[in-house]
């Protein structure tokens, strides 16, 4: 994957922070509890496809009826003379749709391939009780600027058979939309332990795919307009939280039985539809049919891709969007990756390929296994040894002890065996110590190791990058633990920046002599200037990880002095 494509995505952190935070609480103030308690055991959700639609023949007559109703409404709303002939006729998209099972009810939801002039998107919902059709609904909602659904925009319409003789005719029931008595609630589900929500993703704790978030409507018969309503998604086994999002009193046809009027998935981003105004085929992302089905089937990835495109100034819903080759390549590469790794979440993908070094180091510093290795090394008893100690980490997250090398006159180093599976290494640089030898004045010699990365450390990182034939260096790191502080180096350059050959005795001597020449410099300044002036290395970045968890990037200013920049919290 090409690194420059990922640089365009750093702004996504603003979207990723607090992902689904708006779903993760229950509003208890002044609300009456609903009898509906959704859990991961009594709610089953599925994303279905065209073959599923074909096999569920009972759905087709109702979808055809809905299509007729939508087209008739479109004609009557615009008028036969003023209708915009360049626009698509609204129709129901059946290549990807949803099924929700709750108790004895099944809910089938279909996306309408049209956004109305007032900004509302629509979903058709067919409710079945004991496999018999119980209700036909249209759920309308708007989106926020980041493409997430505005939870206060939900509106519900119930469709009933018209009273005329045409059995294929539908009319909308009389539903008041004033705020008050119908609450729309989004419920999430915990993955194994509280606080970890998995919206349709694989939960390794339970060994299952978690239900998708669901939105449901609750009718409160005695509610007065303007008062608070009930809430769904109460805390409990497998249940997350719910948000009552307003609505209005409905007619008596939407009574409160054993199941909600509707349960559906709050579509995280618009489905990717090839818009077809008259005479034009619009496919902003240049996706093939398989890719279109894939992106429409993955709620979480689609939202992130839409957000990426929005930040790039592209609206994938419009035919006049300007798409760069880098953006198109990113989308296609991401879809291919998720196809090959179906259990990967967007967050995992982001952390592996898109996160900045600052974000990676903050994530790494909270990793339990990594922290344990740092704590094992960051002890006076370890740092007072006469030789270095440390661990290697594989790309699969397995740590192993490094081979220790006995201290010599020129080195206290240890051996790091570099293989294509090596992700990084952690090692110590020890304190000053008595060598046991005496000088010409009969004084015992003191070894004073440089408690900062050495040319050999940089060489190890460069060798690791050299073995990353896919051009992805973002995972690679080297960490040094010392009494001077804990530091990490990362390679952020390109293949042309990779240089090796710094693991020789001569480079060690050059580094020691450079220190003698600049004996009043800090170790940070010593390393960064030696890296720049003597080694002529580019693309290696230095970070200090402070004891309070703060990560600082260390760079040289125009005067070759060290400047520290705290990573964003």
Determine phi and psi for 529, rounding to 5 degrees: -75, -40
Question: Which tokens sit at 416?
Answer: 């790091």
* DSSP secondary structure letter of residue 244: E
| Residue where the block lists tokens 């005329």 | 164
Q: 440 to each of 324, 443, 444, 445, how far by Cα in Å?
A: 70, 7, 10, 10
pLDDT in tens, the chain (569 residues): 444 433 333 333 333 333 322 222 222 222 333 457 788 888 999 999 989 999 999 999 989 888 888 877 765 554 432 333 334 567 888 988 999 999 899 999 998 877 677 888 889 999 999 889 988 998 988 888 778 888 888 888 888 766 555 555 555 443 333 334 667 788 888 776 554 567 787 787 778 888 888 888 866 655 554 433 332 222 233 334 444 444 333 333 334 457 888 899 887 788 887 766 656 677 888 888 899 889 888 878 888 888 888 777 777 766 766 677 888 888 898 999 999 988 888 878 888 788 889 989 988 988 899 999 999 999 999 999 988 999 999 988 999 999 876 555 455 667 888 999 999 999 999 998 888 888 887 888 888 889 999 999 999 999 999 998 777 898 899 999 999 999 999 999 999 999 999 999 999 999 999 999 999 999 999 999 999 999 999 999 999 999 888 999 999 999 999 999 999 87
Give CA–CA dist 108/48, Å, rounded.
10
Q: 60 to each of 91, 95, 172, 351, how far by Cα in Å?
A: 13, 13, 20, 43
| Residue where the block lists tokens 């332990």 | 193
Question: Which tokens sit at 217?
Answer: 């409507």
Which pLDDT belongs to residue 317?
67
Nearest residue to 425 (alpha-carbon basis) of 394, 459, 384? 394
Burial of 548 (0-12, 13-18, 19+ CB in 10 A): exposed
Q: Could you tell me how far CA 388 lies from the centroid of its own chain? A: 38
Give CA–CA dist 131/133, Å, rounded.
7
């Amino acid at each position: 994957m090409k690194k420059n494509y990922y640089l365009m995505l750093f702004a996504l952190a603003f979207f990723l922070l607090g992902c689904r935070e708006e779903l993760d609480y229950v509003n208890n103030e002044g609300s009456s509890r609903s009898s509906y308690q959704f859990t991961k055991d009594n709610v089953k959700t599925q994303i279905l496809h065209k073959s599923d639609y074909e096999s569920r023949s009972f759905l087709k007559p109702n979808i055809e009826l809905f299509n007729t109703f939508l087209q008739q409404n479109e004609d009557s709303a615009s008028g036969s003379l003023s209708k915009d002939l360049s626009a698509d006729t609204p129709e129901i998209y059946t290549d990807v749709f949803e099924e929700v099972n709750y108790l004895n009810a099944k809910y089938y939801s279909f996306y309408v391939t049209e956004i109305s002039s007032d900004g509302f998107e629509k979903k058709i919902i067919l409710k079945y009780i004991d496999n018999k059709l119980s209700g036909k609904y249209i759920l309308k909602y708007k989106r926020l600027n980041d493409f997430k659904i505005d939870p206060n925009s939900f509106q519900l319409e119930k469709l009933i058979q018209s009273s005329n003789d045409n059995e294929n005719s539908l009319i909308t029931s009389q539903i008041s939309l004033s705020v008050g008595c119908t609450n729309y609630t989004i419920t999430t589900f915990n993955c194994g332990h509280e606080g970890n929500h998995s919206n349709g993703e694989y939960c390794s704790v339970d060994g299952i795919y978690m239900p998708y978030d669901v939105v449901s409507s609750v009718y409160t018969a005695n509610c007065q307009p303007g008062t608070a309503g009930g809430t769904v998604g109460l805390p409990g086994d497998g249940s997350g939280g719910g948000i009552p999002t307003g609505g209005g009193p409905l007619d008596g046809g939407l009574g409160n039985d054993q199941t909600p009027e509707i349960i559906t998935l709050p579509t995280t981003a618009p489905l990717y539809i090839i818009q077809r105004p008259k005479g034009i085929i619009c496919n902003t992302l240049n996706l093939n049919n398989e890719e279109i089905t894939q992106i429409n089937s993955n709620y979480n990835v689609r939202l992130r891709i839409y957000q990426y495109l929005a930040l790039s100034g592209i609206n994938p819903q419009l035919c006049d969007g300007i798409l760069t080759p880098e953006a198109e390549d990113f989308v296609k590469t991401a879809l291919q990756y998720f196809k090959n790794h179906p259990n990967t979440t967007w967050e995992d993908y982001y952390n592996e390929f898109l996160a900045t070094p600052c974000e990676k180091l903050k994530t790494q510093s909270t990793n339990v296994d990594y922290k344990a290795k740092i704590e094992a090394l960051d002890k006076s008893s370890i740092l007072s040894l006469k030789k270095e100690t440390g661990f290697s980490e594989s790309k699969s997250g397995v740590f192993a002890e490094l081979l220790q090398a006995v201290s010599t006159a020129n080195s206290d180093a240890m051996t790091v065996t570099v293989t294509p599976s090596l992700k990084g290494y952690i090692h110590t640089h020890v304190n000053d110590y008595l060598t046991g030898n005496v000088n010409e004045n009969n004084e015992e010699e003191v070894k004073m190791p440089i408690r900062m990365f050495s040319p050999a450390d940089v060489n190890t990182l460069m060798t690791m990058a050299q073995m990353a034939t896919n051009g992805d260096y973002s995972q690679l790191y080297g960490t040094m633990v010392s009494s001077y502080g804990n530091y990490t180096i990362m390679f952020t350059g390109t293949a042309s920046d990779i240089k090796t050959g710094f693991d020789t005795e001569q480079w060690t001597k050059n580094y020691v002599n450079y220190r003698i020449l600049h004996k009043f410099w800090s170790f940070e300044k010593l390393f960064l200037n030696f890296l720049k002036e003597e080694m002529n290395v580019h693309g290696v970045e230095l970070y200090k990880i402070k004891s309070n968890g703060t990560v600082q990037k260390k760079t040289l200013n125009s005067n070759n002095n060290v400047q520290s920049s705290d990573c964003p919290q």
